[in-house]
Structure 1
């Protein structure tokens, strides 16, 4: 019977530990819900990020034009021609 009593006591102790851990997890979830991971971006930060992306895109475009000048000129000529046709109508 001593083994059964020890086992029952161990089970009760484990159940108490599970309850404590469950309570700690619930408290942690509540704290995370109150404190978001990231602060919302301000309009200025968002504008700066967009500006950086535009600069990167222009840099890539300049690189492509430098590596392929003839096809770039032909594409620009084609786009200019199409825009001219659209706006003259």
Structure 2
């Protein structure tokens, strides 16, 4: 009978340990999910900022081309010519 009580006590201890580990695992999962969410949010904001800067730069370039079409065309021709020379060799 004493052996049965010892086994029951051991089982109860193991069940309590499993419950503690399960709770710790859930807390760790929650913490990781929160950290990952913050990182994703930060990366999204950085990507949006880069996109906005790119759009502003493109807008400025279009404005410059509109204000100076002949020099812009000559510059584009020169760049194209140089790239053609580089890639044909």
Shorter-chain TM-score bucket reads 0.5 to 0.7
Q: How many residues align?
A: 51
List per-residue Cα deviations over 1:56-88 (Å, max 9, x = no partner).
Answer: 000000000000000000000000000000000
Partner of residue 4, structure 2: none
* Structure 1 residues without counterparts, runs of 5 or longer: 1-38
Task: Give 1:44 shift.
Answer: 0.5
* Structure 2 residues without counterparts, runs of 5 or longer: 1-37
Partner of residue 78, structure 2: 78
Q: Which has the higher helix share?
A: 2
TM-score, normalised via structure 1 length: 0.54
TM-score, normalised via structure 2 length: 0.54
User: CA RMSD, aligned part only?
Assistant: 1.6
User: Which runs of structure 2 are paired with 1:25-64 in the superposition (5 Å)?
Assistant: 42-64=42-64
The separation in 2 between residues aligned to 1:84 and 1:52, in whole angstroms, is 32
